Structure 1
Amino acid sequence: MSPRPPLAPPRTQRTVLRVVAAVLLLVLMFSLVGPVLAVRLQAQGHSAAAIGFVLMLPFATVACALPLLPRFFARFGLGPMLRAGLALETLATGLYLLSPDFRWVCAAGVLCGLGAAAAWNGTEALIAHHAPPAARGRWTGLYQTALGGALALGPFLPGLLGLGTQGALGLALAGQMGAVLICLGPAVDALEAGPPGAPAHGSGWALRQRPGLVWCALVGGVFEAGLAALSAAQGAALGWTLGAATALAGVLGMGSFLLQYPAGHAADRFGARPLLAGAAALLLLATLPLALGAPAEPWLWPAVAAWGGVGGALYTLTMIRTAQAFARQSALAGTAAVIGGYTVGGAVGPLISGSLLDRAGLPGLASGLCLLALSVAVLAWRERPAAAGDGPAG
């Protein structure tokens, strides 16, 4: 049988958008499942630590799987691996639905993480490789905005639709099965995320090539994902009402949601590298008053908005820069390394930030965050300029 001919670029882009729609549907259902699981486990009498362990399992599995994924993509193909990732997440939700047993729930969490890693890495690599160079920032920013919207909407669905625990999990299962069906067909199988014949490197190789980009993603993970719950806890520690304290986390999330597309649009015009330095400077300016002992009220509010919005933009800008840096190679290794950095930042952020808060209070935490922002500014200016022909968003 003769090999399948490559897809024409317009058709390829339509197929990429089809995959993106499937992954957004998957993420919407994923964000629904977590809170529902937490409520069910609490009703079964499990401790808060046990619930936290279950909710952490998918993210820990993502971090462990990412270094291996680029070689699996090279061995089995990007399209089949993406579909396998969607199927694994669907299987995990089926296990959540069928068995309340804690051991099966933990096993499903690992399957969910494996599937999420493949879907996350594959989709980011597709956008990095197939977005038109002149619109790479807008494609990435729009995808990150849609992703944030899906993550924010999912937890509201059970209440909006009047669903119980089983009904909500059934809805999630149906939605994820739909995502798998969207990705069936030879057009998805033909997708690639690198030039023909590009070597299959792992994320460790990409880390050695561009350690500064991975560090920028890690810092973005600390600010955007790692400080969400901690900001609410800090508000409560200051004696604020529950509504005001939790609103801090909402301000952080809203900032993250609103700034992704503007950051991508600006990257198309000015390049991602100077914007990374500018984002770091904004984080520094927003956090410095708290480090110098300014009162939490009102300074914590604009600082938290910057942590979410500008911190989230660090990840978006880093992914745009990664797409340019690896434009002549497979994007899978570069995106895997950046996703890994962001995941580690989101995981260790609460631990380190919480320790700083305990030992040195809010000024100590703010001082540590200022140092992180300063490191991004230095690394952004030391980043190697892009090669000619790799597009403006770099």
Structure 2
Amino acid sequence: MPLQEERIPLAALAGIIATVTVFAVAQGLTYPLLSFILERQGTTPGLIGLSAAMTPLGFIISAPLVPAMALRLGGARLAILCSSMAAVALIAIGWTQEVWAWMPLRFLLGFFANPLYVISETWLISITPAARRGRIMGLYSSIVSGGFAIGPLSLGLVGTQGWPPFMIGITAFLFCGLTVLAVVPRLPKMPHEGEPTSVAGFFKLAPLLLFAVFSAAAFEQTVLSMFAVYGAAYGSGEERIASLITCFIAGNAVLQILLGRLAEQVGSGRTMLFCVLAALAGCLLLPLVFNSWLIWPLVVVWGGVSFGIYTQSLIQLAERFTGHALIAGNAAFAFVWGIGGIVGSPATGLTMQLIGHEGLPWSLGLLCCVLAVFLIAARVDKAS
């Protein structure tokens, strides 16, 4: 392959990653911030959970609309519009401070956030050479995960009272739009080749790939929301549990580049299967090592390989699809990520209620088992 085909437009790459990372910081901040405020107001846990579910619901509802909007408005215009509207939604949230008013506003926040992820990942796949795709998609996943982690940490600097924490999120949303505006001339156009494909149509093209994304979302959201309950059953204090969750997120962020490089060496299919089996091993080991020092390296690796399933899914999307199907695929990813985020925690919580706290690793382990069986069956079918 000629050298010029291997060149990466660094300005566009930096602009795309910076845009979605800052957006992730803002989103990572809003979840704990709004929960803290509602808890101070005496809101019931069930209502706090329902309020939080509005954002992934916005992801789900907006996903089928993104391909048509991106092709009609153009990726850059849609990204700038969504960044601006997300800032307006967060201003309204900070202004109202009332749980029922927050329901539609948090829905709108998810509705406007989702297109930015779809567009950014489509841009990133479009400009990334195949030979370096694993590393760059791993870098993207790592930085975005870091952005989500920085959001909650920023609350330690400004607190959760008044407008200061809201201003961080609002500024981040607006900065996204300005970043896109600054790199517009260097951004690729939305791909137009191929037959128009809807999100529903993409489900027929890659059902296993979408199930992998669903599994990654359900796994991550379940650990983040239910690990405190699991740890409390072992008598762990809040500080230790919070530190373990931080290590889980850190592994999520740190290991994606390594997993992306591995995908370049042995293939994204094999690497995804490795991630699934490693996540399953983590589920089996969790009860055995929870009260020992081994829990710390375990949750780091557990976080990395569980989110690695999503990173490998992105790489496979780039390998298999172009044009309209690529945009529809990214939108379908966002749709099933929202479904996984909504379904995973309640299903695991019900299991824990029925069989006890070990329902957490059992539920996640069963999910990994099902995905592993499907992946192995697909490889056998392809080989035959």
Per the shorter chain, which TM-score range?
Answer: 0.7 to 0.9
Counterparts of 1:13 and 1:199, CA distance in 2: 30
**What secondary structure is seen at the aligned counterpart in 1 of 2:163?**
helix
Give the match for residue 28 of structure 1: 25
Give the superposition deviation at 1:320.
Answer: 0.8
User: 1:47/1:372 Cα in 2 relative to 1: closer, same or farther (>3 Å)?
Assistant: closer
Give the superposition deviation at 1:199.
Answer: 3.0
- Contact 1:356 1:364 survives alignment (8 Å): yes
Amino acid at match of 1:253: I
Give the superposition deviation at 1:191.
Answer: 3.0
- With normalisation by structure 2, the TM-score equals 0.87
Give the match for residue 5 of structure 1: none
Give the superposition deviation at 1:274.
Answer: 0.6
- Contact 2:118 2:327 survives alignment (8 Å): yes
- Contact 2:59 2:334 survives alignment (8 Å): no
Question: Is it true that 1:287 corresponds to 2:313 in the alignment?
Answer: no
**What secondary structure is seen at the aligned counterpart in 1 of 2:181?**
coil
1:297 aligned residue (291, 299, 318): 291
- Contact 2:12 2:186 survives alignment (8 Å): no
- With normalisation by structure 1, the TM-score equals 0.85
1:335 aligned residue (330, 352, 358): 330
* CA RMSD in angstroms, aligned pairs only: 2.8
User: 1:136/1:100 Cα in 2 relative to 1: closer, same or farther (>3 Å)?
Assistant: same
- Contact 1:226 1:345 survives alignment (8 Å): no
Question: Is it true that 1:223 corresponds to 2:219 in the alignment?
Answer: yes
**What secondary structure is seen at the aligned counterpart in 2 of 1:183?**
helix
- Contact 1:78 1:189 survives alignment (8 Å): no
Give the match for residue 261 of structure 1: 257
Amino acid at match of 1:316: T
User: 1:123/1:285 Cα in 2 relative to 1: closer, same or farther (>3 Å)?
Assistant: same
Give the superposition deviation at 1:329.
Answer: 5.0
Identity, % of aligned positions: 23
Question: Is it true that 1:48 corresponds to 2:45 in the alignment?
Answer: yes
- Contact 2:252 2:306 survives alignment (8 Å): yes
Question: Is it true that 1:240 corresponds to 2:242 in the alignment?
Answer: no
Q: How does 1:75-86 map onto structure 2 within 5 Å?
A: 75-86=72-83
Answer with 47-56 or 342-351: which moved more: 47-56
1:358 aligned residue (353, 361, 384): 353
User: 1:45/1:285 Cα in 2 relative to 1: closer, same or farther (>3 Å)?
Assistant: closer
Give the match for residue 34 of structure 2: 37
User: 1:328/1:378 Cα in 2 relative to 1: closer, same or farther (>3 Å)?
Assistant: farther
Q: Which runs of 5+ in 1 are unaligned?
A: 1-7, 386-394
Give the superposition deviation at 1:275.
Answer: 0.6
Q: How does 1:10-21 map onto structure 2 within 5 Å?
A: 14-21=11-18
- Contact 1:273 1:383 survives alignment (8 Å): no
**What secondary structure is seen at the aligned counterpart in 1 of 2:153?**
helix
Counterparts of 1:368 and 1:156, CA distance in 2: 29
Answer with 34-43 or 276-285: which moved more: 34-43
Counterparts of 2:33 and 2:365, CA distance in 1: 36
Give the superposition deviation at 1:81.
Answer: 1.5
- Contact 2:16 2:123 survives alignment (8 Å): no
Give the match for residue 169 of structure 2: 172
Amino acid at match of 2:269: R
Give the superposition deviation at 1:10.
Answer: 6.4
**What secondary structure is seen at the aligned counterpart in 2 of 1:226?**
helix
Query: Number of matched residues?
Result: 375
